Each structure stands twice: as structure tokens, then as C-alpha cells.
Amino acid sequence: MSKPGIIQLSEFDITQKIIESLSNVCIRAVLFSIKYESKDATQIADLLKISISTVYKTLCILEDLALVEVEQFVISLEGKKIKQYRSRIGKVEITYEGLEPSLSLYPNTIVKPSH
């Protein structure tokens, strides 16, 4: 059995997955569009002028990486439960020392508005 290369090893590294995800402009835009207040997928799509399916795919990636949370559920006029997403991240820093990247994630400390 051959020894896994650096690329195969890094596929399982969560830091690497987050860095790769944040290199995507759409993912960053979605993440930081919900930094100050929670929004549902339709609001995010309208704000960023991207398709709703792209927003849902992006939110799924961000949820898997634990970078967003469902802050609350809102019931629509049709009786559907709608998720309101909020960024768990306030700031991201990626630095490189030699070949290894270093990732620093800072919590979103924006105070949630009280209802």
C-alpha cells in the first residue's frame, strides 16, 4: 500500500477545508452577509444577487464547517418553518509560515438584537 501524499492528507484536515472554503468569494459573501443580523436563504439571495440554490449549497457547507448557526426559526404566512442563519465568525485571519497555513477564527461578538 502506497503512502498517502500531502494532498490526500490535507483533505481530512479541517483547517485546510475551512481555508479552501473561504477562498471562494461566494462563501465569504454569504458568511459575512449574516454577521450583523440573521437572515433566511431568500434574504441572502436577494441581498447578494445570487440564486437561492447557490445560497442553500453555501449554507450547507458553512453549517458543516460550524461557521454558521441557525439562530431561530420563523413561521411563514404559509406555515413553513424558515431557518434564520447567523455567522458564528466575526473575523478570519489566514497566515503562512513556511508551507503550513495558520488559521485564526474569531467569534462573532456582535450583540444579537432583542425582540
Q: How many CB atoms lie within 10 A of CB 40?
A: 20
β-pair partners for 103 = 94
115 in any annotated domain: no
Across the range 16-34, mean pLDDT stands at: 93
Confidence of residue 87 (pLDDT cuts 50, 70, 90): very high
Residue 61 lies in a domain: yes
For residue 89, the domain's CATH number is 1.10.10.10
The answer as to whether 80 is a domain residue is yes
Its domain, for residue 90, covers 13-107
Q: Per the structure, how many domains does the chain have?
A: 1
Considering the domain boundaries, does residue 83 fall inside one?
yes
Residues with Cβ within 8 Å of 62's Cβ and at least 6 positions away in sequence, in order, are: 21, 27, 30, 31, 68, 85
| Summary mean pLDDT of the chain | 86
Q: Note whether residue 64 is domain-resident.
A: yes
Provide the percentage of residues in the chain whose pLDDT is more than 90.
58
